[in-house]
Amino acid sequence: MHIAALPMAVPMLVAPLLVVVRRWSPRIVVDLLATATGVAVVTLCVILVVRSAHHPFAYWMGGWRPGHLVTIGIALDVDPLGAGLAAFAAVLVTAALLYSWRYFEAAGGLYQALMLVFLAAMAGFSLTGDIFDLAVFFELMGAVAYALTAHRNEERGPIQGAINFAISNSIGAYAIFVGIALLYARTGALNMAQIGHALDGHQADPLVLVAMTLLFIGFLTKAAAVPVHFWLADAHAVAPTPVCVLFSGVMVELGLYAVARLYWTIFAGPLGPHAHTLQAILIAFGTVTALWGGIMCFTQRHVKRLLAFSTVSHMGMFLCGVGLLSAGGLGAVATYVVGHGFTKAGLFMLVGVLLHRFGTVDEFDLHGRGRGMRLVGVLFAVGGLLLAAMPGLSTFFGKSLLDGAALEGDYPWLPAVFVFSSVATGGAVLRVGGRVFCGWGATEREDVPEQEHAASEEEDEETESRSHTPPLMVIVPAVLLVAAVVGGLIPGAVPAVEKAAAHLGDHAAYVHWVLRSGPPHYAAVESKHVEDYDYVYAAGAVLGAVAIAALTLFGPPLRRRVPEPLIAAALRALGGLRRLHSGHIGDYIAWWTAGAAVFGGASLVLLR
């Protein structure tokens, strides 16, 4: 077997093995085997990155190579970006498995097996060159994720969260299948390079536009774009913490990766003349997502939901970056995704420490209870600064590239949206840190009584409180957060990611290396420099985050100066926004339909 297939094959083979051996072997054997498999997949993916660095290649399974630009076989397209994403997913899965050693007291082997299948699906999703396989890996990733969400299937929260997650994402997947069927009807191909080649030089007609709408809205469901994002907070609030690490760190980002990939391999040709309009549509969705996620994030008291909405807000930023439809935007998003993934993984694990220790993730219930946990508190604050993209940290490099790409793409107001997102999400995490680890601020919230139920949701997972935290549960997030802090400073790391992402955006070269197996001729990629204004934005964002956190912790006296009607109006608007997240699957699907209709309507009217 070729090495390209191993990142999927190895975990797929070990997973059933774990299910068998768990009956006879002690837990440590299962944990060791699962973690070792994770490490093996990391190694395999790194080898693929290195081997494809100069010459990306397609591996045709069973030797069914294309002839005269017609494909019969199924390909894995190995390029540095796809292999890099698979490696990133494998790193996070390994970290999550390592963390679970001590986090779960009773994980009987099925959990580890599901995590490995999850890893196989994510690796396959990153590497496949076949659009139908992309959808199948999407569904596999989904099915495993639903089961993992409902891991504690005797409790109410996980049951409802998993049902909402499963139905929303399945609808997205069926939209994707319809889109694929339409493209197959038009081109007779399932290989993405061949579909793209067949559509080159043609105008975008309604069939192509409907196919694009269904594919994009389907993958955006996974990527949690407003208004198809509702499942995300529900699933994150109830899934076991190590699973949240994977959801927020890499799974939702993969949804966006699929959108970027489909655009550049398939739709860049027919939609090229209308790129400006499509840009506007995607950026509109991204902006709403970034703002909505930011507001919802800052007003949460359930810390896992807070982090979930911070992911929504960041996905909005990433969607704006991908929506710029430029090599610069892609490079920025790829850089940012890595920094954000490590940060979010670390933060979720730290929340897991609190849950493990105190049996709750309610910000007010935890007030001051983390005073003795210095290291955890410091790490939590570092996570907040990472979300706010403090200069020098790896997220800062992603964000400054994103600012640069937005200015180049004639969207000078986008950096303001990004600053808002950084301030709201970073500020929220710093506020929680201040309240929990330093005991600052109020012990109970007076103004929004409807939120009380948030506290009682989390009576699950790890119920009783404990007197100490296993060191491993602090070491793993510490390593991830340190990686997020210093990652951007490794010489050559950021330009390498930028280059890999820019190569994804080279449609002609992609068709050439997949269908003709020739060496691609890429245009030289110029790596961007950090500009002076980036430091100004970033410093503004960090100061804003610290200020808003301080204001909510120490500012209640100031509130009396604000006119009462203004506060009442703001609370009413906020209440309306919160009520939309009703937990009712019918509401979510109604919103999904509306989102698809808006996206499709805008595409059909504007992209002709």
Partner 1 sequence: MSFLPFAVAAWLFVVGLYGIVSTRNLVCAILSLTVVQSATYVLLLGVGYRTGGQAPIFADIPQVSTAVDPTVQVMVLTDIVIEATVTGLLLALAVQAHKRFGSLDPNELRAVRD
Binding site for partner 1 (CB under 8 A): 132, 136, 139, 142-143, 146-147, 150, 153-157, 159-164, 166-167, 170-171, 173-174, 177-178, 180-182, 184-185, 190, 233-234, 237-238, 296, 305, 457, 578-587, 589-590, 592-593
Smallest gap from Cβ 287 to partner 1, in A, equals 21
Smallest distance, partner 1 to C-beta of residue 189, A: 10
The set of residues, in sequence order, having a beta carbon less than 8 Å from that of 361 and lying 6+ positions away, is 302, 303, 304, 351, 354, 355, 458
Number of neighbours of residue 583 by Cβ within 10 angstroms: 15
Q: How far is the CB of 387 from partner 1 (least distance, A)?
A: 21
Distance in Å, CB of 549 to partner 1, minimum: 21
Q: Measure the CA–CA gap between 458 and 542, rounded to whole angstroms.
A: 31
Question: How many residues would you count in the chain?
Answer: 608
Cβ nearer to partner 1, comparing 231 with 420: 231
**Nearest to 159, CA basis, from 453, 587, 583, 589:** 583
Nearer Cβ to partner 1, position 355 or 483?
355
Instruction: Give whichever of 143 and 541 is closer to partner 1, judged by the CB atom.
Output: 143
User: Least separation, in Å, of the C-beta of 252 and partner 1?
Assistant: 18
Dihedral Cα 572, 574, 580, 582, nearest 10 deg: -90
Q: Which is nearer to partner 1, 315 or 381 (CB)?
A: 315
Q: List strand residue ranges (DSSP E) for 160-276, in order.
A: none
Helices (H), 359-391: 374-387
Are the C-beta atoms of residues 423 and 541 closer than 8 Å to each other? yes
Q: 296 or 480, CB closer to partner 1?
A: 296
Q: Taking the complex as a whole, how short is the minimal distance between the CB of residue 154 and partner 1, in angstroms?
A: 7
CB of 238 to partner 1, least distance (A): 6
Contact of 328 with 444, CB cutoff 8 Å: no
- CB-wise, 457 or 534, nearer to partner 1? 457
Q: How far is the CB of 330 from partner 1 (least distance, A)?
A: 30
Nearer to partner 1, 410 or 450 (CB): 450
Give the whole-angstrom CA distance, residue 203 versus residue 388. Answer: 42
Q: Which residues pair with 59 in a beta bridge?
A: 76
**Lookup: tokens for 547:** 């200020």
Q: Is the CB of 17 or the CB of 136 nearer to partner 1?
A: 136
Of 105, 106, 59, which Cα lies nearest the Cα of 78? 59
What is the closest distance, in whole angstroms, from the C-beta atom of residue 21 to partner 1 in the complex?
24
Residues 75 and 275: their CA atoms lie apart, in Å, by: 28
The enclosing H or E element of 60 equals: strand 57-60
User: Nearer Cβ to partner 1, position 81 or 454?
Assistant: 454
* C-beta closer to partner 1: residue 171 or 254: 171
Dist CA 339 CA 399 (whole Å): 10
Question: First-to-last CA distance in the chain?
Answer: 46
Enumerate helices (H) and strands (E) in the chain, giving the number of each.
26, 2
Closest CB to partner 1 among residues 184, 440: 184
Among the listed residues 283, 248, 542, the one whose alpha carbon sits nearest the alpha carbon of residue 395 = 542
Closest of 323, 294, 133, 150 to residue 229, by C-alpha: 294
Q: Could you tell me which residues are beta bridge partners of residue 130?
A: 191
Using CA of residue 381, residue 383, residue 384, residue 390, what is the dihedral sign? positive
Kind and range of the H or E element at 76? strand 75-78
CB 388 within 8 A of CB 426: yes
Residue with tokens 């299937």: 153
Nearer to partner 1 (CB atom), residue 158 or residue 377 = 158
